[in-house]
Amino acid sequence: MRGAARLYMLIAGVLLLGGVQASLAQDYPAREIRTICPFAPGTGADIIVRFYASKLAEIAGKPVITENRAGAQGLLGTEAVAHAKPDGYTIGINPVASTMAAAPHIFKHLSFDPLKDFAFGGTLMSVSFVLVAPPNTDIRTVADLTKYLKEKKGDSFYGGSTNTGIVASELYTHAIGVDVKRVNYRSAFDGLNEMMSGRLDFYFTDVTTALGQIAAGRYRPLAVTGSKRSAALPDVPTMTEAGVPMDFAPWWGTIMPAGTPKPIVAKLAGWLDTVSAMPETRAFLAKNGLEPLPGDAAMLRALLIKDTARWGEWVRLAQIEAQ
């Protein structure tokens, strides 16, 4: 009888918890939602997060505020999501492939487990990075840059503010057999401004961040890192086409703290699916050099596991020491 009583109490507790969670989801959101952007204001990441936040607010009927937590190549913002209260009021719209998948290989000590400390919504989009050089030089192709770096014989510099940009830079310099010194920056704009002043020789940044500056003539695009050309830069070859095999196109997804009630996670994921299907979202993606990548939580988890293994290989090939 005691066993039966315990079983009854367990079932009753589960049903009660399920009812409470369902009630929370029904009333959600009762106040504003906070989205964490792991990069600085004005960057491509910031543009992406603020767009999705604005569309999410339209559906949720409550303000969705973007908070920038820049630093450590996206690690600080991702940590902020992992350590937030799991109530659905803090979410991350995050370049998961270049923050969470890369983090175990880039950093010796992590305060979160990428697979255990988050609830997953779904995937959203992907974006290539672009190799840019100063426009006031004779460097117009990857071959030109390679020749120039070899002539400098180790007395050259590149900037890095993201995991993807750093690994792309190291793979490139390793492939051409040249030692180039790295200078770390808190944001892409800091590094790109340094390049404009002549302190850096090249930079890899996301297409979204670079497009306006390229159009203004501030940076010269040489190649993109994805497996195919960017629709936003159709005349710019891929790194592979330019003779340096590379396939980097970080994908984005929605993350929440582990323990966020499942009905709330499902509600948020459904809303973001609705956002992804909007004509204005498709137009936004095309305008900013982004590729749609819709998918559910299972797809996000599978991609994260796959890319965590790939990042281990990339970091080893690029001979990057963990920080």
Q: The tokens of 314 are what?
A: 């990339």
Q: How confident is the model at residue 197 (pLDDT cuts 50, 70, 90)?
A: confident
The pLDDT of 149-176, averaged and rounded, is 92
The pLDDT of 206-224, averaged and rounded, is 93
Q: How confident is the model at residue 31 (pLDDT cuts 50, 70, 90)?
A: very high
Residue 85: exposure state from Cβ atoms within 10 A (0-12, 13-18, ≥19)? exposed
Q: Report pLDDT for 98.
A: 85
Q: Among residues 98, 108, 123, 122, which one has the least CA distance to residue 188?
A: 98
Residue with tokens 């890319």: 307
Residue 240: exposure state from Cβ atoms within 10 A (0-12, 13-18, ≥19)? middle
With a cut of 70, say whether residue 1 has pLDDT above it: no
Helix axes of 207-215 and 44-60: crossing angle, nearest 10 degrees: 110
* Domains present along the chain, CATH in parentheses: 30-126+250-317 (3.40.190.150), 129-224 (3.40.190.10)
Q: Among residues 214, 251, 236, 278, which one has the least CA distance to residue 98?
A: 251
Residue with tokens 């790939």: 310
Across the chain, what does the average pLDDT equal? 90
Q: Report pLDDT for 23.
A: 56
The CA-based diameter of the chain, rounded to the nearest angstrom, is: 86
The pLDDT of 214-237, averaged and rounded, is 94
Residue with tokens 């809303």: 271
Q: Are 122 and 275 in contact (CB under 8 A)?
A: no
Cα 256 from Cα 246, distance rounded (Å): 31
Q: How confident is the model at residue 122 (pLDDT cuts 50, 70, 90)?
A: very high
Q: Is the model more confident about 141 or about 153?
A: 141
Cα 84 from Cα 90, distance rounded (Å): 7
